[in-house]
Amino acid sequence: MELVLAAGIGVLAASGVWLVLRPRTYQLIIGLALLSYAVNLFIFAMGRLRVDAAPILRPGEVGDPAAFADPLPQALVLTAIVIGFAMTALYLVVLLASRGLTGTDHVDGRDE
């Protein structure tokens, strides 16, 4: 499982970086999205991979922390997803504005 997850994060990050370095805004925004997926998975993995372990206790129960998954990275991932999503949406608006103003989808606002 570790290998699959590590490879998945690696592939997402690598394709994200490659796309971010491309000259078209559409490629850029897909690259940013892939990068943020990779990062979110990475944060999740930093809480250690656990199968069949709940992140929260049942009400009224005092449990052994070792039997539970670490809930903190899961909360962090949620926050990071929301923020990343909002920023991508905001960038889409700028991208459209630039397309309208300059007539090209090149990241420099002009075709070389």
- Interface with other proteins by CB under 8 A: which residues? 2, 5-6, 9, 20, 25, 28, 32, 35-36, 39-40, 42-43, 45-49, 57, 62-63, 65-66, 68, 70-73, 76, 79-80, 83-84, 86-88, 90-91, 94-95, 97-98, 101-102, 107-109
DSSP 3-state of 106:
strand
H or E segment to which residue 4 belongs? helix 2-20
The number of C-alpha atoms within 13 Å of 17 and in the hemisphere containing its C-beta is: 7
Residue 19 beta carbon to other proteins: minimum distance, rounded to whole angstroms:
11
| Shortest distance (Å) from residue 79 CB to other proteins | 7
Contact 25, 98 (CB under 8 A): yes
CB of 3: closest distance to other proteins in angstroms? 9
The three-class DSSP label of residue 26 is helix
Name the residue nearer to other proteins (CB basis): 15 or 88.
88
Q: Which amino acid, 4? A: V
